[in-house]
Amino acid sequence: MSKEEFLEYKPIQNEGFVGEVIFEDWEDGEDVFSDMKKIVANDAMTIILQSKKRVKQFLNEENIPFKIHMTEIYLHSPNPYHVVKVLEEFCVYGGSKYITLFLGRPCEFRLEQFGKKGKWDIGRHLSGNSVAITLLGNDPVLYVSAQNEQDCENFMELIDTRLDDQIIPFMTYEENSSFDIAVPPDFLKAFDLPDGNFKRIFARLLNDPNEGGDDTLHKLYADDALQMIAISSFYDDVLDELQIDYHLENKMLLSEPVKPDVREDTLEKLHSESFMDRVYLFYASQPNYQVKKGQPSSLFKKIFSSKATLDFNLEKNGKAVVLVLDGELAVIYENE
């Protein structure tokens, strides 16, 4: 990836300034690794890598947790040992065309519209005075992304200090374990999702359905009964395979409560199918709902989709999870 490709790739949507640090004394991967350990120190909060078979194999062999979002590998809040292992693998052995590390604060995900067509997608943002640094393959240039020029220059000065083996803290840490994503009203409208009287509406990132291995969905409302599934009529064979009772209403399948012993398999299977069509999951209590016609987002989905969506309200203590954006986003409703 060239510098031009990197600037077009734009890993951070709210970067206001990108600086460059050129390392003329880098002769091999060990030199890169040695300097990067000093630069990163204990500040890495999110790491992004190219989704390649070799990279995934390495992470699995080292038991390093990772997720696949938007065709890229993400390490969320990696521990310092894992950061060093990943840096060594990238700098010395390669495997990915690039590596981006968010330092000081985790990558903040936001739902926003991209490009000339204004397509909704998941944006990556810096928060506060944090920065992100990117290496491109064997290129001896470190790109420093910040929200403004001053933050970028401050960190570039810190790089010089750390390379002189002085341990200088980057920024004050704030403990924040929330991965909740705000859901704009325009997003709900664009995806024909309810925006009525709910106590709370937010979203969470999920692993790419084609990759599997994500326990996020299983952990959501694990103590509440899965009262109902709603999915397009195209997937009757899926519910039949899972031996879940259902009825058909206006080209949408509405299930009976799911038994606890098949819940995990059910969520795993439904997540894998959500790549093609949205899935509705209702917990704790039955919703009040109305099935209505929807509009598929692509010609491919128009061929296979039942064109049905669900408008719903929740009873007190009710919860709902709707899988959208090719199954990589769970829009979550709470009424407790």
Greater confidence (56 vs 71) lies with 56
pLDDT of residue 201: 97
Min mean pLDDT across 9-23, 138-152, 260-274 is at 9-23
CB 99 within 8 A of CB 77: no
Q: pTM of this prediction?
A: 0.88
pLDDT, one tens digit per residue, over 118-130 is 889 899 999 999 9
pLDDT at 175 > cutoff 50: yes
- 145 falls in which pLDDT band (50, 70, 90)? very high
- Between the alpha carbon of residue 305 and those of residues 65, 81, 230, the distances in Å are 34, 45, 14
Domain ranges, ordered by start, for the chain = 17-164, 181-335
In this structure, what token pair is assigned to residue 227? 């009262």
pLDDT tens-digit map of 6-56: 677 677 899 999 999 999 999 899 999 999 999 999 999 999 999 999 999
To the nearest whole number, what is the mean pLDDT of the chain?
A: 89
So what's the pLDDT on residue 3?
67
pLDDT value for 174:
59
Model confidence pLDDT, tens digit, residues 207-259 = 998 887 678 899 999 999 999 999 999 999 999 999 999 999 988 999 999 99
Write down the pLDDT at residue 216.
86
State the Cα angle at 12 between 10 and 13, rounded to 5°. 90
Q: pLDDT per residue over 97-113, tens digit each?
A: 899 999 999 999 999 99
- The answer, yes or no, to whether residue 315 has pLDDT greater than 80, is yes
Q: What is the pLDDT of residue 305?
A: 47
Can you tell me the mean pLDDT for 183-204? 94
> How confident is the model over 299-304, as a mean pLDDT?
50
Q: In the prediction, which pLDDT does 177 show?
A: 52
What phi, psi does 146 have (nearest 5°)?
-145, 170
Residue 173 predicted with pLDDT over 70: no
Specify the long-range contacts of residues 1-6, CB closer than 8 Å, at least 24 apart.
Answer: 1/97, 1/98, 1/136, 1/137, 2/136, 3/136, 3/139, 3/141, 3/143, 6/98, 6/134, 6/136, 6/143
**152 sits in which H/E element:** helix 149-163
How many residues does the structure list for the chain? 336
**Per-residue pLDDT at 160 exceeds 80:** yes
